[in-house]
Amino acid sequence: MTPLENEITALKKELVSMWILVQSQLNKAKEAMVQFDKDLAREVLIKEKRVNAFELKIDRDCENIFALYCPVAVDLRFLLAALKINTNLERIGDIAAGIAIYVVQSSVNFDVKALESTSLLRMYEEAVNILIDTRTAFEKEDTVLARSIFKRDDVLDAINESAPINIAEVIKANPESITETLYMLSIIRKLERVGDQSKNIAEEIIFYVEAKILKHLESSNRRLEGEE
């Protein structure tokens, strides 16, 4: 392989390693929430520094490749996509840390029945699975799988939209749980953003593999449909 190809391969491995770490952070935050494990939640907060360190290193590596090799075509698209994927992964890491903070701050555990009735657990599982599949799409350069992320994000959006009504029902049934229930609403909001970040990543995978820019395409289509 050429020196540039070696650098690109190393960068892909770095991104995958960051992906796995962020996925682990999300899973541990979920376990801490369900088990009300404050120690595990604190572990997530500590490891957030590793996520941030990954982001900085990947940014620097991209800058070095730009400066040394002046990449073109697919290599250039990959580097541009890598920078954006890196940012999105770091934001998902922030979301995992934010969920962990709620566990640390909460004075009582989260009611499992409430987690189920609000579809929070289902939403969490789907958000993690979407993140896993974006990594698979990235590693295999599978744009069909990347495109499937857009439709699957609709599930997260639907749960997020129905959250206020479901949360209100939980509070009505148990007014003393209002603080923890509002934490649950915030977690649902955060998981919806995991879906958004994953969609952004899927768009970048399609961009570097197919040289197609999908950003703003969905909103443009909706405007056209509205005009019709």
Query: pLDDT tens digit string along 56-76?
Result: 999 999 999 999 999 999 999
Q: E strands of the chain, at which residues?
A: none
Provide the residue ranges of all domains of the chain, joining segments of one domain with +.
Answer: 3-220
Position 220 confidence tier, pLDDT thresholds 50, 70, 90: very low
| Superfamily name with CATH number, domain 3-220 | Phosphate transport system protein phou homolog 2; domain 2 (1.20.58.220)
pTM metric for this prediction: 0.91
**pLDDT, mean of residues 168-176:** 91
Confidence of residue 32 (pLDDT cuts 50, 70, 90): very high
Distances (CA, A) of 116 to 112, 163, 214, 221: 6, 12, 35, 35
- At 215, give phi and psi (nearest 5°): -60, 135
By CB atoms closer than 10 A (0-12, 13-18, 19+), residue 216 is exposed
